[in-house]
Chain A
Amino acid sequence: MSGVRLLVGTRKGAFVLSSDGKRERWAVSGPHFAGWEVYHVKGSPADPDRLYASQSSGWSGQVIQRSDDGGVTWEPVGNKFAYDGVPGTHQWYDGTPHPWEFERVWHLEPSLEDPDTVYAGVEDAGLFRSTDGGRQWQELPALRGHKSGPSWQPGAGGMCLHTIILDPARPGRMFAAISAAGAFRSDDAGQTWRPINQGLHSEGIPDPDAEVGHCVHRLAMHPSRPSVLYMQKHWDVMRSDDAGESWHEVSGNLPTDFGFPIDVHAHEPDTIYVVPITSDAEHFPPEGKLRVYRSRTGGGEWEALTDGLPQEHCYVNVLRDAMTVDTLDSCGVYFGTTGGQVYASADAGDSWAPIVRDLPAVLSVEAQTLP
């Protein structure tokens, strides 16, 4: 019988949550790498037993862990992330030049075909690739070296490259997003990049319609329709129908269009999910009610999903990498909170139940659908 494995990164370690296809009863293993921040754990689409985890701490820096047995055992692999050449400067919070300094890996994106190839999005923003299962990492320097690089500036969480999407239909096309620079696209496997931010409008930067400088929180794509992208920006939920060439706002009737994650139903490319957060000053749900909002129209028209979610006194956040879907017939949707809950819906968001309630603050959740 098919099943689901959730890979959960938290402030104090990683957890693996496993269930059969009913998704009613879950086994919990962990903490793995106890006491360390685990920003992200993700499995290879080509080999679901091959997992990569980003483990870090302020004391001891970055470690990359690899599992070849679905998270039962782990092996530290390479952790040398050296920028190509002399990295130069970006803008600091106050607008002054600041040297590029590696801080941590935010996001790991395994290749769609090769379990040994994996991309890493890092802070300060850069894109790295390993082709030997994580042992050695080389920067793809063209992104950081884009002419706009010296003008990029950090978001509140750091200047992170947090989103990497590989286009399944067009080999070599990939998308990346950086806070606070914006979205970028490469059509040649990362050799060249260009900003794709036309249509974004951001208050709080000198030119609200600038080519770069936007605090993009997350991008999402349905693999069957890779030219359509969805974006949760700092403020505004956006949609592109031309692979990022232009964007239009689809916030519609959301109670607030600030938030972090956005994701797409596994079988319905026009069904998308966000978790509205009150504001950039108040990182918790409006009115203390934890509500996932679902649009079945690709944005614009949204419905609140509340069944099983706390509707009073809830002041958690849901971070950008902390929502995911499985690919079972009835699409499962999952998200983790900064309060340590991981919620699951086995009916595409109609109803929810917590799998766990008391983990450390959840940084990321990824689902693997197992045969």
Chain B
Amino acid sequence: MSARALRQGTRVEPERLSFYFDGLRYDAQVGDTAAAALLANGVRLMGRSVKYRRARGLLGAGAEEPNALFNVGEQPRLIPNVQATQLVLRDGMRLASQNRWPSLRWDVASLLRAGGGLFSAGFYYKTFIWPSWRSYESIIRRLAGLGAAPQDCALPPVALEYVGCDVLVAGAGPAGLAAACAAARAGARVVVCESEPLCGGELEFECGRIDGAPAATWLATTLAELRALGARILTSTTVITDNGGEYIAHAEPGGVPGHNTVYRIRPRTMVLAAGALEQPIVFCNNDRPGVMLLGAAERYFARYGTQVGRELVLFANHDRVYASAQRLAAGGMSVCAIIDTREAAEIAVDGTVRALRESLIASGVQCLAEHAVIDADGGHAVRAAHIAPLRGGATSRRIRCDAILTSGGWSGALQTGFHGGAAVRGAGALRAGSASGSLELGAALADGHAAGARAARDAGASGTAGVPPQGVGDTAPRVRAFARSPAPRSGEKRQFIDLQNDVTAADLRIALEEGFIDIEHVKRYTTLGIGTEQGRSSAAVGAAVLAEFKGEVRSNVNASRSRPPYQPVTLRSIAGFHVGEAVMVSRRTALHDWHASHGGVLEPMGLWMRPRYYRANGANPFDASIAEARQVRSIGGIADGSTLGKLEIAGPDAAALLDSLYLSKASVIRVGRSKYMINLREDGMVLDDGLVLRLADDRFLATTGSGHGTHMLSHFEHYRALSGRGRRVTVTDMTEAWSVIVVAGPQSRPRLARVLGTSWQAALGKLAHMDFADGTYADQPFRVLRASFSGELAFELHCRPSIAVPLWEALVAAGLAPYGLEAIDILRVEKGYLVGSELNGQTTPFDLGMSALVKQNNTCVGSALLDRPAFHEATRPRLVGLRACDGRSQFLGGAQLTGADAPNYPCGYVTSSVFSPTLGQWLGLALLARNQPEGAELTARDPLRGGNTPVRVVSPVHFDPCSERMKG
């Protein structure tokens, strides 16, 4: 194969490379797409359809390709569903066809075709009912799907770039470039996105002249001028959606996921000049490999020097086909016949075309007017076309050929403009070129220039756009709508409309027969136009055929509503750099590294990382936490409390704001004192709890639950704004400004005094429960608060993060061992203190035993709705303690509680449970219906984990009910 002559084209280099397709090695040239190289190697069969497993080849040359999808690379890191037409080959690349077994040529499942008539549109809704869908599903799932499921993924990071500009131009064909040039000359900052790797669009093969010179010259000078004017041209970049005036564009150079870029472009105005999609004409067996779009054939030759066939039959409904034929013939391909669906008189209208057609006839091309290709012969490749007159009923004739090139007109690539509801807002983009129906070069250039000038003006640019370029190319095609060749009803089953999903004309008939009349219904019922080419090759022609069947006259067809993205985008590109460890930010306390290097087992808690236990204290969390809790109760320990939310509220109205946010009043707190307070949500449920410290007359520090800090900050700020006190009170998040070390245990005071030194001795001795003292430590601001979440004598040390580690180490050296979250949980459950398990957004202050606070009658957020009757019913829960009746058995958080009278109707549930080393048994907290008295015997039902434990209702304060240890 290496003897093959070098091809020449706008996109191929003379250097050779090789690649593998289904295990066979092929030669290619640098710049080749997989499609171009395989065609050049004579490969026609490139895939199998999903439903009938019919042999398929290339239809198009770009993003419209529905058939030739490959698995690229090898497992585990394989990329499925890569369009051969977009994939630029690299040396040694390995490609494999999809949807076939054991091989592309001999596919077992293609035997399903025998039942072809049974698998009509929606057949699966009518069968597979008995015995159940599930019994068929696994087989059907394996037959469906396209590419292989990857076993792993190792794509490089995606670049994300925000781009601001005045004018965004989508498409760098003649219209887009004229628009960009006009806008840039007028002084606008211009960005151009072109899906193809090269600019120029149709200029790549259409031999037009612009401003008196060959189009290629204009292309080069225009690109140079644009660069000189500072315009940015992004190639291989497709605008995929409109996100409310911001356009998301995606660059995938080489047509395979790799070093991709996502652009978020915010233009003032936009010009949509993304060209037009050539539409196929439908006939029987139009899915045979070798039936292609006419424009695709031109592209393969101009770009890669690849001939799509030796003997061509062209089939079209417009004038452009004759110019194409001439170019293809000049490229060495033999044009056997040109089949035009229009009447001879209509073709003859344009003098240029008439002359061109006559010269083609003179050179031996059969030119037939008012004829159509009605069928194609061939299995794995086209062998002949059947031609029949559209009127008169004469019999068909057969023309040998190896390619049938169809062109049924163009449909504007407007989809991006429809996304994001821009049309609804009336802020739709300007359209230019073939995207807006200007299919002739001169018109497209004029159109583009005008749109660019207008866009620049709308964007505020004041310069002049200069003179519009004058172009002469192929004449306007004068399309006469023709979407489908006539066929007998039985033949409609082989008239393929959506090649990827095997939707045929017969399927559309069935849909109509069953009452699916609207295009949106037909799309959903038949799967028309939902393929990976986003309906580019099928949606418009499907809508046209549907209109024909419905007897509607529609020259310009309405396709179903398309959905973003305009081009499929890898999930990795969308995720950006938020993958793996970076999926979400990690919040770390100043002591994080110390914990990690001293056996702390760190676990996420919200976005924070907190030590669950320390390995030094036990081999597993259970043993370690028991040892840690025992140490706190016997001597003392230290815990990292830095994740507590800390909000500072300051200003003359600080007390008034807090009074409105807490169930009890903050204004009565004396300076130097703190108070346990709770917040209600607007509906009266408890939102959060914490301590409020009065630092000065006009300054408070409010602590919030660890997971609640951000939420509470917003809540405080909201009511600050609503109260109109904005100028007289500030709310500042101090969470990360203070590290918090909790020192708890009977020995905490003397050992802390030893560490803090003489200056703090007196203060420590004086501090009563809930008092705090401000001062300095290691020349830094420092605060000691005497408060306890363990029931032990305890102090919270608030220090600057910079001295947290040395302070912590000094405390460790003083014999205070660190304890983790599990031990904290044991200590607080023993004392009946609350955490998120109880403050779950479903509990009122009455439920949690805080009726006394409500009785203080402070008006605050949520207090007005507390007297709703449901909150006072006997079935509302209240917080209770639980112990196993036998004093030994385990019961777990999440167990449901039932009484003997109603064994399947829970009257409450276990919110938390721990094994208490102090009391030597399992203890629990529960939310239990109020009509279950203390002392009641219930069952903790835990079918999930296989346990039913008889439990007794006790006080939620299991340990030291008078809090002598804490307050003494």
Are A and B part of the same complex?
no
Instruction: List chain A positions with a Cβ less than 8 A from chain B.
Output: none
Instruction: List chain B positions with a Cβ less than 8 A from chain A.
Output: none
